[in-house]
Structure formats: structure tokens, C-alpha cells
Amino acid sequence: MSDESKLQVIIVGSGLAGLTAARILRENHHVTVYERGDAAIATGGQGIIIAPNGVKILESIGYNRDRAGAVPIYGIRTYDKEGNVNKDVDMDLKPRFGADCLAQKRSDFRDELMRLATTPSADLGIKGNPAEIVFNNAVVGLDPEEGVVTLSDGSTAAADVVIVSIEDAKKALGDLPLPHWWEPSTCQNQSTKSTTESWHADGDRAKMVEDFGDFHEPLKIILRAATEVKVWELQDLEPLLTWTQGRAMLIGDVAHAMTLMQGQGANMSIEDAESLRLLAPGTRREDVQDILKLAETVRRPRIAQIQAETRKSHSTFGVAERVTRNLEFNCGYNGIHDALKAQQEKAKA
């Protein structure tokens, strides 16, 4: 494919959704990722679980579980406060859904996605060019109709497609008139802290141990040994009326943040990024808006159902039930082309 026939793509943010999108698009288009932080932006050792629906997509783009230090989850075991086994739930999901459920550190997972987005194509055995990552230069404004972003250094950049994956979308998108933005009033549970503080605020170890005062002693010993305690509030985002305008599309948490009760938030970000496969080789600039809208029409109903089921599970189910009650719908997803075909067949029926 000639360089002239490739789209120019800007991705805002180098988080999980942004880097997955960069890997998906780099084979057929020119991709530039603008990141407000530096190369070490992903810190901390929070764990993250990727379900089979996400793992299938990742494996299709060369994800290496060993590099990411990922381990398969074959079961969930819950305990009561006294340390007695409550329930064992089978989570050996590969026979049913074609992939394992994997657990890994979030920072290691992001490192692997960064490798897939930026490693020379010959080393990955793929075509196209690596995505270019521009650190320490935030997107502070966007003209979605023209596909022009304004950067924090005062410069501008133009593209055929702009994918927005960062959490501070309101700042990045400036005057983009989309309803129900990432505002405290749209959250199911409102935070008293700023977004940054709510994810990285220091917690009180003594208070944490006190909260678990009636639990099994070994657990309290482990909690007392913690060298760092962080606290944040679980929040989700009311469904937006649209994810696209002009040449711009929102993906990941910025479009549909949800709590971790079903373990599907990161998987939805991966699925969103994979939907950009609809921007196939040879896609013309004038076709971009229709393709982004098509991706949204396929993704939105699925996201809405998963978000609704996640909310239902907040207070009515235990941890095992939350994760397993919608497995067929959650984990049976096989990518945007399969989903689009199913949607078209349903429309004909």
C-alpha cells in the first residue's frame, strides 16, 4: 500500500485503549500518539484481569503473556471472615471461549502494549510502520470536523482520524459539543476528590486494618505489612449520547467508564480499539465519519448491556457471581467483524 493511500491517525493518550488502538492501526495507517506525561507514565503495581474476549483480541495482535508476566486464572475461591473456604468457582474458560482469563500487573501490561505499538515491524513480522509516541505534549483542543488537534506546546497537528482515549476528555476536546461529559454529575458515585487524587491519594494503613478488624488474623497481619496504601472511590459514567463527531471518536473509559464488578472495563477498551479494524486498508478520508459511526452502532448496545449488568451486581451478588453470571455474553465476543455480521443478520431477520 502506498503512503498516500494510508490515513493519518492521531491517538490522544497512551493508556491501554490508546496503545491497543495504535497496534491495531499501525499496519495500515500512519499513527501518532500524543501523551501528556513522560515515558514512565504507567506506574504502580495494580493488578488487572483480562477475560477471554480481550485475550482473543490481544493474541491476534501478537501479545506475549510471558513478557507481560501474565498468569491464567483457573478458578475463584472466596473465604468468609474467619478464613474458611466459602466457594470454589471454575474459571478454566479456554475450552468454552477459546482463550484463558489472564491476570497481570497493569504496568507490565501497558509495557507489552507499548512494545506492540512501537517495535519495528520486521521484529513483529507485520507490515506498516511503528506508531510514533510523542511524550510530554498534551492535546488541549480539538476541531473534530477537520481533525485538527491543538497541543500544549502551542502547535497544531492534523489527521484524517482522531481517537480519544484519555480520561480528562473534557480538557482535551475543548468545545466539542458532546452531551454528558466526564463530569461529577454524570457519575453513579460522586467523588469528593479530583480525578488524579481519587486514584493516587494516600490511604491510612491503621484505618484500613481497623476496617478489617473482625477478619481472620492472617489477613490483618498481611494488611499491617503494607508499605503503601492508596484509596480511591469506585465510579462509573452515565452512557453518553454519542461517542463520535466528525473525524473524532471516544474509546475506552472516557466513553463508558464502569466499575470493576464484572471485570470487563479493560476488556471493553480492548474491544473498542479492535473495532477500528473497520478502518481497513484503502479507506478514504471522506469515508472516515461513516465508518466511525458504524463502529459506534455495533459497540454501543454491547457496552450498554455490560454496563447495566455491572450496575446490577454492585450490591446483590458476591464476587464469584459478579464475574460469572454473564460469561456467555461477556466472553463470547469475537471481534468487530463477527459482531457486525451478527448485527446485519439480525436486521435482515
CA distance 171 to 12: 12
Would the CA dihedral through 77, 81, 85, 87 be positive or negative?
negative
Strand partners, 58: none
pTM greater than the 0.85 cutoff: yes
Distance, in Å, from the CA atom of 145 to the CA atom of 246, rounded to the nearest integer, reads 4
Q: Is CATH 3.50.50.60 the right assignment for the domain spanning 3-62+105-191+238-348?
A: yes
What CA–CA distance (Å, rounded) separates 182 from 306?
Answer: 19
Q: pLDDT tens digits for the chain (349 residues)? A: 667 789 999 999 999 999 999 999 999 999 999 999 888 775 555 789 999 999 999 999 999 999 999 999 999 888 888 888 888 889 999 999 999 999 999 989 999 999 999 999 999 999 999 999 999 999 999 999 999 999 999 999 999 999 998 754 444 444 444 333 234 343 343 334 444 445 567 889 999 999 999 998 888 888 898 888 888 777 777 778 889 999 999 999 888 888 887 889 999 999 999 999 999 999 999 999 999 999 999 999 999 999 988 888 776 667 777 777 889 999 999 999 999 999 999 898 8
Dist. CA 74–CA 84, nearest whole Å: 20
Q: Rounded to the nearest 10 degrees, what angle do helices 106-118 and 16-26 cross at?
A: 20
CATH 3.50.50.60 domain locations along the chain: 3-62+105-191+238-348
